[in-house]
């Protein structure tokens, strides 16, 4: 962990979308924030499932509050495990319309931005914490190209912009965790919530560590972007 000061943690999640009536990330947001409160100053936000509004909102939150750790949560229906994401791509490509009706295809999220941003969260430590909590956990290399990916990209891109403006400023760590729909792979809401609490606590405790320490890569941790992802 870098530094001894109590860090600021920004947690975000989404509500139901795309015909789903339930989003487990929304129901885990409050408990995760409560569990992290003793070790961090916690901010929470339920983002709209809209490309432009959600991206603008997380950029505003980061620029206004300068959090040290940003963990965003979202649903990836069809996956059978909790999947911390490794990379966000500069692409908006929607299989279904977002909640505003927008359905971009082949559009960059931000012109002239990097083609991708890699998570800076301590992913290995987080995946280990999820597994220790009794839930299936694998690293994912595809956050899709819907709103979850857009939010992850916007958060990391905003951190990069702030660093470019002031290279001496402390650099926040940020990333995204996808969760399965309740029932997928037999996973319950209680198991998802318990696992996300463990992951968020690990993100705070191990912030500053490499996302995937050298020599620990495992090709079997790749999870393709299947099912409905935000």
Say if CB 108 and CB 57 are below 8 A apart: no
Q: Is 27 a catalytic residue?
A: no
Q: Is 178 a catalytic residue?
A: yes
**Encoding tokens for residue 191?**
């198991």
Q: Is 93 a catalytic residue?
A: no
Sign of CA pseudo-dihedral 53, 142, 175, 164? negative
Place of tokens 């559009």: 107
User: CA of 221: how far to CAs of 82, 151, 163, 207, in Å?
Assistant: 11, 23, 31, 21
Nearest to 229 by CA among 28, 74, 54, 56: 74
Q: How many residues does the chain have?
A: 230
Q: Which of 50, 117, 148, 158 is catalytic?
A: 148
Q: Which of 50, 117, 158, 178 is catalytic?
A: 178
Nearest to 172 by CA among 72, 37, 89: 72
Cβ within 8 Å of residue 25, ≥6 positions away? 13, 14, 73, 74, 75, 179, 196
**Tally of CB atoms within 10 A around 41:** 15
Quote the radius of gyration of the chain (alpha carbons, Å).
Answer: 16
Place of tokens 């857009």: 150
Residues taking part in catalysis = 85, 148, 178
């Amino acid at each position: 962990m870098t530094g001894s000061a109590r860090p600021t943690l920004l947690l975000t999640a989404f509500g139901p979308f795309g015909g789903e009536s339930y989003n487990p990330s929304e129901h885990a947001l409050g408990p995760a924030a409560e569990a992290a409160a003793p070790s961090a100053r916690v901010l929470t936000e339920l983002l709209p499932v809209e490309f432009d509004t959600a991206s603008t909102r997380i950029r505003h939150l980061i620029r206004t509050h300068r959090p040290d750790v940003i963990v965003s949560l979202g649903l990836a229906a069809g996956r059978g495990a909790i999947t911390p994401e490794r990379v966000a791509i500069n692409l908006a490509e929607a299989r279904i319309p977002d909640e505003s009706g927008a359905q971009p295809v082949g559009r960059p999220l931000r012109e002239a931005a990097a083609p991708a941003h890699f998570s800076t969260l301590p992913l290995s430590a987080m995946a280990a914490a999820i597994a220790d909590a009794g839930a299936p956990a694998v690293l994912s290399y595809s956050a899709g190209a819907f709103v979850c990916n857009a939010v992850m990209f916007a958060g990391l891109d905003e951190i990069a912009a702030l660093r470019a403006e002031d290279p001496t400023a402390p650099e926040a760590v940020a990333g995204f965790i996808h969760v399965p729909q309740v029932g997928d792979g037999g996973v319950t809401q209680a198991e998802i919530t318990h696992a996300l609490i463990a992951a968020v606590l690990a993100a705070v405790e191990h912030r500053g560590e490499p996302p995937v320490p050298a020599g620990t890569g495992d090709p079997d941790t790749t999870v393709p972007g299947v099912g409905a992802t935000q």
